[in-house]
Amino acid sequence: MVVILISLYSKEENAEKKYSNYGIYEIENDLELFFPSIVVKIHREDENIFTYLRKDSEGNVIEKLVPSYQNKMKIEVAPIRPLNYPVRRTNFVFLKLIQEVFLSENASTTFLVRCPIEVGIFLVHDTHKDSMDWFTCDPSSSRFGLYGAPDTGKLCKFYRVPIVKTELDSEPYFNCVMRLNFENLLERGYSITKAIFPITDHSLYYKGNKSQLDSLNVTLRKRLAVEYVETAEVALKDIDWEKSPSWEKDTQTPSMEMSLE
């Protein structure tokens, strides 16, 4: 077994270091991928067997044997939705804006926010991309939050996020950039402090080590006496970024209820 030691860097330090890019890698014998506080090593063990090893800064090691019926092994490293750490419990994300946005009546605005991501490793064969492994480079920020009352609310992954200026302002391997389009059709101004949405409706895209998430349209409306928020996912179009494979759909679990035995 190969033992790899790597120190834990802060986000600022990581920005200056050279890490592996997202993308497809073909492995003939050996490959090393470096991410913030995480190393992935793939090694040809035998003619048809590769060893996959991931080690983080706390010494946790994941090791897998991957049989391959081709001469090469092909993997894709891509950003995935931030739903798996510490455990998969929800499809919703709760983004609490660090800076509040005030939208006056009948106004609309667009701004970009950082949305956390995790990193997925996919085994590529023929036309399929199988989910092989995932990890987060920022476990300390990955927490749960509740939107609503404890009995009727929605459990979400909770993140405090800043507003950024361009689509390229994501921190590699930590977060992506997401466009929020707000429209206020109410007859009064409204302070926007958070966005809660099912992130499984959104796709991720990557280029180099930057990533983006599909946009979200948020419309504040009033019908009779009720004010409500309408949200819709908007797929990114006409961009030359690669679309990430989806990890989450393979790990859904059915719900269980009472029945007669």
DSSP code per residue over 17-45: S--PPSEEEEESSEEEEEETTEEEEEEEE
Cβ atoms of residues 97 and 192 within 8 Å:
yes
* Rounded Cα gap, residues 188 and 60, in angstroms: 52
Please report how close the Cβ of residue 154 comes to another protein at its closest, in angstroms. 7
* DSSP state, residue 148: S
Please report how close the Cβ of residue 223 comes to another protein at its closest, in angstroms. 27
Residue where the block lists tokens 């405090």: 160
Residue with Cβ nearer another protein (89 or 222): 89
Cβ atoms of residues 39 and 33 within 8 Å:
yes
Residue with Cβ nearer another protein (31 or 117): 117
* Rounded Cα gap, residues 94 and 138, in angstroms: 17
Cβ atoms of residues 210 and 172 within 8 Å:
yes
Residue with Cβ nearer another protein (71 or 144): 144
Please report how close the Cβ of residue 225 comes to another protein at its closest, in angstroms. 28
Please report how close the Cβ of residue 146 comes to another protein at its closest, in angstroms. 5
Residue with Cβ nearer another protein (5 or 149): 149
Instruction: Give the footprint of another protein on this chain (CB under 8 A).
Output: 85-87, 89, 94, 96, 139-140, 142-147, 150-155, 158, 254-261
Residue with Cβ nearer another protein (37 or 215): 37
Q: Other CB atoms closer than 10 Å to residue 255's CB: what's the count?
A: 4
Burial profile 139-178: b = 16 or more Cβ within 10 angstroms, e = fewer: eebbeebeeeeeeeeeebbbbebeebeebebbbbbbbbbb
Please provide residue 15's backbone torsions phi and psi, each rounded to the nearest 5 degrees: -60, -30
Please report how close the Cβ of residue 161 comes to another protein at its closest, in angstroms. 13
Cβ atoms of residues 22 and 77 within 8 Å:
yes
Please report how close the Cβ of residue 36 comes to another protein at its closest, in angstroms. 17
Residue where the block lists tokens 């997401």: 178
Please report how close the Cβ of residue 119 comes to another protein at its closest, in angstroms. 17
Residue with Cβ nearer another protein (23 or 139): 139
Residue with Cβ nearer another protein (36 or 215): 36
